[in-house]
Amino acid sequence: MILFPPCKINIGLHVLHKRNDGYHALDTLMYPVSICDILEVIQSDVFEFTNSGLNIPGNAQMNICIKAFQLMEKEYGISPVKIHLHKVIPMGGGLGGGSSDGTYTLLAINTLFDLQLSDERLQELASKLGSDCPFFVTSLPQIANGRGELLTKVDFSLKGMFIYLVNLGIHVSTAQAFSKVQLYQHQTQILELVKAPFIEIKDTLVNSFEFSVFDSYPQLQEIKKIFIDNGAVYSAMSGSGSTIYGIFNSRPEKGLFSSYELVFEEILELS
């Protein structure tokens, strides 16, 4: 079967404090965006993983799709599969592409082997792969708390608006981003903030990682400023970086960043 793992953006990402277990407590709204990888999973006599599209750095045998298969094999004794992943979503860009790939491998296996697992069980399994993974079980707008795994569905829609995403190919280490993060100082939760228009909350609904990441990579702050100067109602960095996005009421013109060497640039209508 063939599935299309989407990506996500963080609309506000408030890092609240460091927990006793070493993780940080988060408050963020995760919103699905229909830029997708392509994932094929079929039953086989032997396990095989292959990939194409964007180059995936590191050891291919450590890919999250393989970890997802191994998890399901351990839990349910499934037989081998062949997995092919075609990468479209840039890596290390804060868009959750890897998390989506891993979770969609779980979804494919659930269907292929007729396991009939509930969304709740799939989210429990996905949380073992990574903090962002449970979101992609349903890929609906959700508030994420805890270390990112505690999800609450929210009535929030950007349908009919447009998103412009830009990635310069800068890889921001998640560990480094957390080590220098500026903790969120306000008390209002994102669930309350997003009930107001962007114009009222754009200075309070922030990404805590921007302060340190922009200090190291000022060109990312320049990208955000260009978005705002050209009519974006809201602009932010997604995740711990380094994709910057702008949200517009009408379709913006492509080419705002012709002076930059981009590895990824996409404009699409949100659903």
Of the candidates 97, 183, 184, the residue with the CA atom closest to the CA atom of residue 133 = 97
Q: Indicate which residue of 8, 87, 202, 224 is catalytic.
A: 8
Of the candidates 126, 79, 124, the residue with the CA atom closest to the CA atom of residue 98 = 126
Q: In whole angstroms, what is the distance from residue 223 CA to residue 186 CA?
A: 25
Instruction: Based on the residue annotation, tell me whether 229 is a catalytic residue of this protein.
Output: no
Provide the 3-class DSSP secondary structure of residue 53. Answer: strand
Q: In whole angstroms, what is the distance from residue 142 CA to residue 238 CA?
A: 15
DSSP state of 181: P
DSSP state of 120: H
Q: Indicate which residue of 37, 101, 132, 202 is catalytic.
A: 132
The answer to whether 109 touches 70, Cβ cutoff 8 Å, is: no
Provide the 3-class DSSP secondary structure of residue 267. Answer: strand
Strands 81-87 and 48-53: parallel
Instruction: Based on the residue annotation, tell me whether 37 is a catalytic residue of this protein.
Output: no
Q: Which two tokens stand for residue 51?
A: 């990939």
Residues belonging to the active site: 8, 132
